[in-house]
Amino acid sequence: MTTSNELSRCVAQFDPQALPVSAAQAIVRQWATPIVAAERVALSDALDRVLAEDIVSPIDVPAYDNSAMDGYAFDGAALAAAVQADGSVSLAVAGRALAGHPFTGNIDVAQCVRVMTGALMPAGCDTVVPQEQVQEVQAVEGPQADQAAGDGQSIRFAAAALRAGSNRRRAGEDLARGAPAVRAGRILRASDLGLLASLGIGEVAVRRRLRVAFFSTGDELRSIGQPLEPGCVYDSNRYTLLAMLRRLNFDAIDLGVVRDEPAALEKALLTAAASADVILTSGGVSVGDADLTKQLSRALGDVAFWSLAMRPGRPMAFGRVWSGGRAGVGDPALFFGLPGNPVAVMVTFYQIVRDALLIMAGATPQPAPVLHAISAVPIRKRPGRTEFQRGTAQRAADGRWHVAPTGSQGSGVLSSMSEANCFIVLAHDQPDVDAGDTVDIMLFDGLI
């Protein structure tokens, strides 16, 4: 198959026993083809979906010039024309405008209109003096100045504090009609939904959700609720995989635990290929007697086996599996055979798989933000592989981030991951780290 040839050609330039993380990321991205199918959903159901169309603003937002402050709107020409010897401007209050209740009259340069934030700028007005800067000079009669239109009241303020156009929001300053508002490929967040609502858009086209089938392999695995015989472990990878996939809003198809038996594995792989865009498995990709995934997925499609220059997460399989049982027959699915060790599963998912899945989902993946932190302790690091140690980072009183690895860094020690709030990323060529050295960290959580 051509695909197989291409896959092996992709890795040919690297040492197959140590494929750099950056090369694996590039190859995987190259094989990730976005799904095309889209559907229309209500805005209220669109959170975390991938926008399938460019949205162009059908209106100006805001739709009209309006006041940015509570105060008085007037013609900015008054700042030059009506200024007195002491530098102040006095204007007569001709009426008022509230948000949703415009002032409909006309005023001259010696007049102003009481306005509240968001009120339509009255005709002839382009400037607002905030009420804090104003002295109410006289109230001929009646109650407070802002209680009624006019009332013969006037205001005085220092001209120097303002310029023509101050405190006015222009029509279209948020978004002009015809301007791109949100681009296709955007994973819709709260601000995007608000923005689309501000344009009066109540429905959007989004890509159909990416379907990801996953299963665990291993005769030693027990499901929760089953007795744990000697030599057995509970299957935890399925839970981390389910959670990681759901967090990205993919359609996660759980195919359970599959025993290390050729027939069972073959059936699971074919079912997965028929029902999903992507197959994720854990376990059975290292050099061992029971490493059937390796043999089978090779038989069922085009699969390359990698030894990544990475820790944790060295062995990994990548390629395509066809539902017809042979390369080119039936429906293909992109296949990621992840290692079995629970931390390695999470690290390879985030560092190698995640962006490819986002691309397939139609999204434009953004690089994870990396911060510099000061290492509290020395860290041993072998050059020639990228290490993703688990760390706890915090911003100290000196305003800088400080980090320390969380306990044992074994690739099966899931508590190191659970306790951590970041990866300490030790680059391919980096040697040992001394206490006080700066390291890169990738925080697990962001604000939004």
Query: Which residues form the interface with ligand AMP (CB under 6 A)?
Result: 216, 218, 220-221, 233, 235-237, 282-284, 286, 288, 339-342, 412
Residue closer to ligand AMP, measured from CB, 236 or 271? 236
Residue closer to ligand AMP, measured from CB, 76 or 218? 218
The CA distances from residue 270 to 216, 322, 324, in Å, are 15, 7, 7
Q: Is 360 helix (H, G, I), strand (E, B) or coil?
A: helix
Q: Cβ of 132: how many Cβ atoms within 10 Å? A: 9
Integer Cα distance of 287 and 298 in angstroms: 14
**Alpha helices, DSSP H only, in 36-186?**
78-81
Residue closer to ligand AMP, measured from CB, 67 or 217? 217
Choose the contact partner of 236 out of ligand AMP, Mg ion, none; CB within 5 to 8 A by kind. ligand AMP
Choose the contact partner of 332 out of ligand AMP, Mg ion, none; CB within 5 to 8 A by kind. none
Helix (H) or strand (E) holding 6: helix 2-12
| Smallest gap from residue 386 Cβ to ligand AMP (A) | 20
The CA R_g of the chain, rounded to the nearest whole Å, is 31
Residues 292-321 that bind Mg ion (CB under 5 A): none
**Alpha helices, DSSP H only, in 130-253?**
190-198, 237-247
Residue closer to ligand AMP, measured from CB, 188 or 258? 258
Instruction: Give the nearest residue (CB) to ligand AMP.
Output: 340
**Strand duo 278-282 + 211-217: pairing:** parallel
| Smallest gap from residue 337 Cβ to ligand AMP (A) | 9
Choose the contact partner of 405 out of ligand AMP, Mg ion, none; CB within 5 to 8 A by kind. none
Site for Mg ion contains 339 (CB under 5 A): no
Residues 264-293 that bind Mg ion (CB under 5 A): 283-284
Site for Mg ion contains 218 (CB under 5 A): yes
| Smallest gap from residue 284 Cβ to ligand AMP (A) | 5
Phi and psi at 392, nearest 5°, equal -115, 125
| Smallest gap from residue 220 Cβ to ligand AMP (A) | 5
Residue closer to ligand AMP, measured from CB, 228 or 329? 228
Closest alpha carbon to 114 in 94, 142, 136, 144: 94
**Alpha helices, DSSP H only, in 214-360?**
237-247, 262-275, 292-300, 342-348, 354-360
Q: List contacts with Mg ion (CB under 5 A).
A: 218, 283-284, 340
